[in-house]
Amino acid sequence: MDFNDSPEEAAYREKAGAWLAENAAAHRAEQGEPKPTTPEHMAAAKAWQARKAAAGYACITWPAAVGGGGGTPIQSVIFGQEEAKAGVSYGYFTIGLGMCVPTVMAFADDATKQRLWAAFQRLPDRCRELLRVLIADPPLSYTEISAMFGIAIGSIGPTRGRCLRQLRELFTLEEELGGRRA
């Protein structure tokens, strides 16, 4: 089996590496090196994700029509390898962006997708953030989540339950409103 890059893959690796060399340094200069599992670290991860999205490097295999890069799985692997070398791989969003959202994209009808997205966007910021962190890959420990959100470890499960209940209620409301706002 040949594990060497094809000429097209090598060109993509070179392009991605050049972008990472420029942007990883700029990102670190802007964000510093926050301690993992802190709110500052999550903010830096979001800023990095936004920077990648603006350049077409976030969600590389997603269709461009839904905000992805429209690329191939091997391009996603190549970028991930180069991103890890550049030291800016956060991992918070891997499960959500790599599994949950693609499942919804593949199996939900358009109306359901729109309702789910609208419901998620209507959640309070803290609920959206908690749900994002809970599906992070690698998963954070409850100790890390507790420190990040400033809540007791024993409060995480009940808070998650309240957030999911709100999401379910908002999703149902979106269905009842048919996309209209109350």
Average pLDDT score over residue span 127-152 = 82
What is the three-class DSSP state of 29? helix
For the beta carbon of residue 20, count every other beta carbon within 10 angstroms. Answer: 22
pLDDT > 60? residue 149 = yes
User: Band of the pLDDT at 181, cuts 50, 70, 90?
Assistant: low
Can you read off the two tokens belonging to residue 115? Answer: 């309702």
pLDDT > 70? residue 179 = no
User: Band of the pLDDT at 121, cuts 50, 70, 90?
Assistant: confident
> Is-contact 57 69, C-beta < 8 A?
yes
pLDDT > 60? residue 171 = yes
List CB contacts of 47: < 8 A, sequence separation 6 or more. 27, 30, 31
DSSP-assigned letter for residue 140: P
Q: Which CATH architecture has domain 96-177?
A: Orthogonal Bundle (1.10)
State how far the Cα of 134 lies from the Cα of 124, in Å rounded to an integer: 16
pLDDT > 90? residue 15 = yes
Q: Average pLDDT over the chain, rounded to whole?
A: 85
Q: Which has the higher per-residue pLDDT, 178 or 36? A: 36
- Pick from 162, 160, 168, 163: which is nearest to 140 by CA? 160
What is the tens place of the pLDDT at every residue in 29-40?
888 888 887 888
- pLDDT more than 70, % of the chain: 95
pLDDT > 60? residue 140 = yes
Instruction: Supply the pLDDT for residue 178.
Output: 66
Angle at 30 between CA 129 and CA 122, to 5 degrees: 20
- pLDDT more than 90, % of the chain: 26
